[in-house]
Amino acid sequence: MIYKLVYDTNESLSVLNQALQQVQDRLIMVCLWVRKQIVDNSKVQAIRNLLERGIRVDIACGYTSDIPDSLPEIEFYNLIKRKEYSGLQDIYTLEVEYKTYFQLKFIGTHEKYLICDDKFAMIGSHNFLSSKNTKIKEIGVYTTDEKIIQELIQHYDNTKPIVDREKTCQEYWIEDCIDELSRNIPNYSTDEYTDYYTDMDQFFSY
């Protein structure tokens, strides 16, 4: 069993990268903000790669005073235009593309913790999904204590969203694309399934 201190942003971001590389079943990340500064193209691709392998990825965020009482499409777009939530711009549609494996929820939080399977967890002061500022002192704890990990997982699963957002036009479009391509699966021979997935990639590249 391991307990060790995690100092400052570089070390906590190193734990985040470790989790993205080592997770085999489920990755939970809770942080009040999600910025593109951290959730950049490389992180988005890393998350997509996990989902493609059937690994669950959960992200919970949202500082209570930032989140309106309802999130219709226009309010949601306004929210993710803000710097604090800009990292959601390239991942929110994953809830439609990978329904079984990706969850995004707004919970009204100041918590910052990460859980990688039942292997390890990190709890700390650093907003590891929104900041890489090395001038600010941060501290956290990394542990492999199974009891702590299971309690954190239960805590996350029992935390309900403070608001449910409406689906966006972009997500409806993606659903339509998936439905259309799924209906066409029987039209592909066994040797042509590669072409099917190529078609899927082309849809989502627009």
How much is the pLDDT for 166? 79
How much is the pLDDT for 193? 46
- Going by C-alpha positions, the residue among 2, 3, 67 that lies closest to residue 32 is 67
CA distance 140 to 113: 9
Single-letter amino acid, residue 19: A
Cα 54 to chain centroid, rounded: 14
Least confident of 11-20, 31-40, 96-105, 118-127: 96-105
Taking 70 as the threshold, does the pLDDT of residue 91 lie above it? Answer: yes
Helix (H, G, I), strand (E, B) or coil at 148: helix
How much is the pLDDT for 131? 92
CA distance 31 to 153: 15
Q: Are the C-beta atoms of residues 6 and 120 closer than 8 Å to each other? A: no
Q: pLDDT tens, 101-110?
A: 999 999 999 9
The backbone region for 56, taken as left when phi is positive above 0, alpha when psi lies in -120 to 50, beta otherwise, is: beta
Q: pLDDT tens, 45-64?
A: 999 999 999 999 999 999 99
Give the pTM. Answer: 0.85
Taking 50 as the threshold, does the pLDDT of residue 190 lie above it? Answer: no
Q: Please provide the distance, in angstroms rounded to a whole number, between the alpha carbons at the two ends of the chain.
A: 47
Taking 80 as the threshold, does the pLDDT of residue 195 lie above it? Answer: no
Length of the chain: 206
Taking 70 as the threshold, does the pLDDT of residue 32 lie above it? Answer: yes
Segment 115-142 shows an average pLDDT of 94
Packing angle between helix 41-52 and helix 8-22, nearest 10 degrees?
30
